[in-house]
Amino acid sequence: MPTYGYECTGCADRFEVVQSIKDNPLSICKQCGGVLKKRIYPVGISFKGSGFYVNDYAGKTSGVTSVTDSAPKAETATEAPAAAAKPAPVAAAAD
């Protein structure tokens, strides 16, 4: 059964109660008769091991590249030398 935390708005008393999910939440403080509110706790989560993202969603490296992956690399390699080469300046013609 889950453990629920409560805090009294009147006396600021904090306590935890083991309750079934089907049970109604507590509403009255036993010490002062004030109104209780449920406390929200942060979730304790820990990713251990080789990694959640790496195991489930990262691309697998199988040694085979797709056509779309290799095409831009080839175009970039052939365009770079052409872009770097500048035409020779044209001498001004004397009239």
Boundaries of every domain in the chain: 3-39
Q: C-alpha angle 35/28/37, rounded to 5°?
A: 45
The answer to whether 23 touches 44, Cβ cutoff 8 Å, is no
pTM listed for this prediction: 0.45
pLDDT digits (tens, 9 = 90+) for 9-57: 999 999 999 999 899 999 999 999 999 999 988 877 776 766 555 555 5
What is the model's pLDDT at position 1? 81
What is the model's pLDDT at position 29? 93
In angstroms, the CA 30 to CA 69 distance is: 67
